[in-house]
Amino acid sequence: MSIFGFIYQYMDNFAFLILAAIGLAVIFGMMGIINLAHGEFIMLGAYITTLATMAGIPLFISIALSALLVGIYGFIIDRLIISKLYGRTLDSVVATWGISMIMAQGMLIIFGPSIQGVGTPLGSLSIGGENYSVYRILLFVIAIAVLGVIYWVFMHTKFGLQSRATMQSQEIARSLGVNTNKVYSLTFMLGAAFAGLTGGLYAPTMAVSPSFGNSFLMQSFVTVIVGGSNPLIGTFLSGGVLGFVNSALNMIWGTFYGRLGLLIVAIIVIRLIPLGFSGLVEKKLMRGRDA
Amino acid sequence: MDTVLTRSANKVSVKSILELKNLGKYFGGIRAVDGVDLSIREGELHCLIGPNGAGKSTIFKMIMGVYEPSVGSVYFEGKDITKKKNWERADMGLSIKMQIPGVFGELSVYDNMRIATQKHTKLAKMDEEITKLLDLMDVRHLKNEIVNNLSHGQQQWLEIAMSLACKPRLLLLDEPAAGMGPEETEFTAQLVRKLNKEGITILFIDHDMDFVRQIAQKVTVLHFGQKFAEGTISEIESNEEVVQIYLGNG
C-alpha cells in the first residue's frame, strides 16, 4: 500500500470513528447518559436517507433530513422517557436498551430484513494506479466540520455555555436561572441529530438493515471510553489515535487485527488513564495553571 | 435596564417581599424545619441565626426551590411560589449565594459571569455589566483565571457578583463571610451594606456575631427548626433565652 493509500485509510477510519462516536459522546459527556440505542438512532438516520433518496429527494438533502428528523425523534424520546431518568445512569442504560430493541424489531416488522440501498455518489479518484472514493474523502472533511460545529456550539453559544455549566453543577446552574431540563433535552436532541447524520452519511456505503447500527456500536463505545467525558477533546484525540492504530494494523495484518487493536488500546487506556484522553488533557491543563 | 447597583437608596417598606407561612421540612422522623412563619420586608437587611442544625440552610433551600416543603408555603412579592421550579424563582428575582461557594470551578471567572448575566442583560451590554460587577467585588484582574485557582474569599465574592448579575430583588446569602480573614470580612460587610442601601433586600445566615452586629437590621433566631425569637440585634442580645441556647456558647 502506498503512502497515500495509508493516509486515505487513516482518513477513512478517523472519519468513521468520529462520526460513529460523536452523538454518543455528546449525550454521555454532557448528560452522563449511556445511550444503548445509539446504534439504532444511526440506523434510523440510514433508513430516512435511503427512503428519502428513493422518493426522489437529492442525497445530501436526505442526509440533512435524517439529522433533523432523528434529532426531533431524540427530543420526543427524551421528553417521554429519558427526562424521567436524569441522574439515574443504570436505569437509563436499561431504558435505552429497551428503546434499541423496540426500534430494531420495529424496523424489521415494517421494512423487512433489508431495503434497497442507494449507491455511493461522487465516483472515485485515481492516484498512482489506485482508486480512492471521493465520497469517503468527503466524509473525512465532514467529520472535521462536525468537530468544528461542536466546538462552536459548546464554546460560543448561549446553549453551549449553559450546557457546560449544567454539566459541572446542576444545582448552581438552576439557581442562576438555567432551565437544566431544557438544556438536557436539547443536548439529547443534538446527540440524536448527530447519530442521524452519521446514519445518513453512511447509508450509501453499506447495506441498510435493522442491524445497520451494530456496525458502529463497538467503534463508537471504544472511541468514547478512550476519549473520556469531554465530547470535543476526547473524541478528537481518541479518533486520531484509534484511527492510526486501526489503519496500521489493518494495513499490516488485515481488518480483524485492526478491530482487535482498538479493543486492546481501549483496555490499556482504561488501565492507565481511567478518565480517558480528555481527563488526561484536563489534568495537565490544571497542573499547568497551578505551576 | 438599570443594573441592581444603580437603584435609588433604599427604605425599609411596610410591604413584605418574602413570606414563609407555616413552612416545614421533614426528613423521615426529623423535623429540620417545623412550622416557621417569617416575613421579610422590602429593603430589609435581615439575619437568620441559630445553632447548627437549627434549620437555617434548609429554609434557604426551600425558599430557592431546591427542597420542596413538607408543609407550608413560600410567598414572593405576594405570589405563592411554593410549586415553582428553582430556575423560575431565579428569573422572578430571587438569588442565592450558597454556603459552599456555588461557582463553576473549571470555568473562567468571565464564563461564570456570562452564565449568570446572559438571561438578564442584553448581549451588547454584557461585557460592561460583567466588568462593573467584577470591579465592585475587586476581582476584575482575575477575569480570565480559572475559578478553582481563586482563594476562598475571591470565590465567595465571585458568587455574590454572579448573584447580582441575576438582578435580584431578594438576595439570600448563606454565611457570606465564612472562612474569611478580618480584612475580607470587613470588605464583605461593607459590600452587603452597600447592596442593601442600593435597594436589594437581603436575608443572610451567619454565625459570626460581630459580622451580624455590624450589618443586620433585624434578626430571627431559629432553634430545633422553629422560630425562637425575633427583633433588633440589641433585643436579641438582651434576650436571656437566646443567650442561653445560642449566644452564650457562641
Are A19 and A196 in contact by the 8 Å Cβ rule? The answer is no
What is the spatial distance between Cα A285 and Cα B117, in angstroms, rounded to a whole number? Answer: 27
Are B12 and B39 in contact by the 8 Å Cβ rule? The answer is no
Residue from B100, B110, B115 to probe the interface with A (highest A Cβ count within 10 Å): B115
Which residues of chain A does B64 touch, with a Cβ-Cβ cutoff of 8 Å?
A: 175
Are A161 and B110 in contact by the 8 Å Cβ rule? The answer is no
The total number of structural domains in chain A stands at: 1
Per-residue model confidence as pLDDT tens digits over A102-127: 999 999 999 888 888 788 888 888 87
Give the closest-approach CA distance of A178 to chain B in angstroms. Answer: 6
Residue B105 CB contacts under 8 Å (≥ 6 apart), including other chains: A168, B146, B147, B148
Residue from A162, A167, A172, A289 to probe the interface with B (highest B Cβ count within 10 Å): A172
What is the three-class DSSP state of A35? Answer: coil
DSSP-derived letter for residue B146 is B
Indicate the domain borders of chain B: 9-93+168-247, 102-167
Q: Angle formed by the axes of helices A180-202 and A59-80, to 10°?
A: 150
Q: What is the pLDDT of residue B10?
A: 55
Please indicate whether, in this complex, the C-beta atoms of B114 and A161 are within 8 angstroms of each other.
Answer: yes
What is the spatial distance between Cα B73 and Cα A185, in angstroms, rounded to a whole number? Answer: 30
Percent of chain B whose pLDDT exceeds 70: 93
Give the closest-approach CA distance of B103 to chain A in angstroms. Answer: 7
What is the spatial distance between Cα A25 and Cα A223, in angstroms, rounded to a whole number? Answer: 8
Longest distance between any two alpha carbons in chain B, whole Å: 56
Write the residue in A169, A176, A286 that is nearest to B90 by C-beta: A176
CATH of the domain at A70: 1.10.3470
pTM for this predicted structure: 0.80
| Interface contacts A/B by beta carbons within 8 Å | 65
What is the spatial distance between Cα A218 and Cα A228, in angstroms, rounded to a whole number? Answer: 16
Please check whether residue B85 touches A, CB under 8 A: yes
Q: What is the pLDDT of residue B5?
A: 43
Q: Per-residue pLDDT averaged across B55-68, rounded?
A: 90
Give the closest-approach CA distance of A197 to chain B in angstroms. Answer: 30
* A190-A196-A198-A202 Cα dihedral, nearest 10 degrees: -170
Residue span of the structural domain in which A256 resides: 3-290
Are B217 and B203 in contact by the 8 Å Cβ rule? The answer is no
Instruction: Please give the grid coordinates belonging to residue B42.
Output: 422590602
Nearest-CA residue of chain A relative to B123?
A: A158
Which segments within A135-181 are labelled E, that is strand?
none
Residue burial A157-174, b: 16+ Cβ < 10 Å; e: rest:
eeebbbbbbbbebbebbb
Write the residue in B90, B102, B107 that is nearest to A177 by C-beta: B90
CATH architecture of B9-93+168-247: 3-Layer(aba) Sandwich (3.40)
Q: What is the pLDDT of residue A122?
A: 82
Start-to-end C-alpha separation, chain B: 44
Nearest of B34, B17, B15, B16 to residue B25 by alpha carbon: B34
Per-residue model confidence as pLDDT tens digits over B90-135: 888 888 887 777 888 888 899 899 888 887 888 888 888 899 999 8
Residue A83 CB contacts under 8 Å (≥ 6 apart), including other chains: A181, A184, A185
- For chain B, counts of helices (H) and of strands (E): 9, 10
Instruction: Please give the grid coordinates belonging to residue B51.
Output: 445553632
Are B115 and A178 in contact by the 8 Å Cβ rule? The answer is yes
Instruction: Please give the grid coordinates belonging to residue A230.
Output: 469531554
Please check whether residue B90 touches A, CB under 8 A: yes
Q: What is the pLDDT of residue A61?
A: 95
Please indicate whether, in this complex, the C-beta atoms of B166 and A290 are within 8 angstroms of each other.
Answer: no
Q: What is the pLDDT of residue B153?
A: 84
Residue B236 confidence (pLDDT) above 90: no
Please indicate whether, in this complex, the C-beta atoms of B66 and A171 are within 8 angstroms of each other.
Answer: yes
Per-residue model confidence as pLDDT tens digits over B9-37: 456 666 889 999 999 999 988 888 988 99
Q: What is the pLDDT of residue A161?
A: 86
Please indicate whether, in this complex, the C-beta atoms of A169 and B90 are within 8 angstroms of each other.
Answer: no
Could you tell me which residues of chain A have a Cβ less than 8 Å from any Cβ in chain B? Answer: 158, 161-162, 164-165, 168-169, 171-180, 282, 286, 289-290
Report chain B's mean pLDDT, rounded to a whole number: 85
DSSP-derived letter for residue B9 is P
Which neighbouring-strand residues pair with A33? none
Per-residue model confidence as pLDDT tens digits over B240-250: 887 877 766 54
**List of chain A residues with pLDDT < 50:** 291
Q: For B125, list phi and psi in degrees, rounded to 5.
A: -100, -5
Q: How far is CA A1 from CA A126, A240, B143, B217, in A?
A: 14, 20, 53, 82
Report chain A's mean pLDDT, rounded to a whole number: 87
What is the spatial distance between Cα A181 and Cα A64, in angstroms, rounded to a whole number? Answer: 26
Are A290 and A240 in contact by the 8 Å Cβ rule? The answer is no
Query: ∠ CA(A15), CA(A17), CA(A22), 5° rounding?
Result: 95
Which residues of chain B does A164 touch, with a Cβ-Cβ cutoff of 8 Å?
A: 104, 107, 111
Residue A138 CB contacts under 8 Å (≥ 6 apart), including other chains: A122
Q: What is the pLDDT of residue A286?
A: 61
| Residue B7: pLDDT band with limits 50, 70, 90 | very low
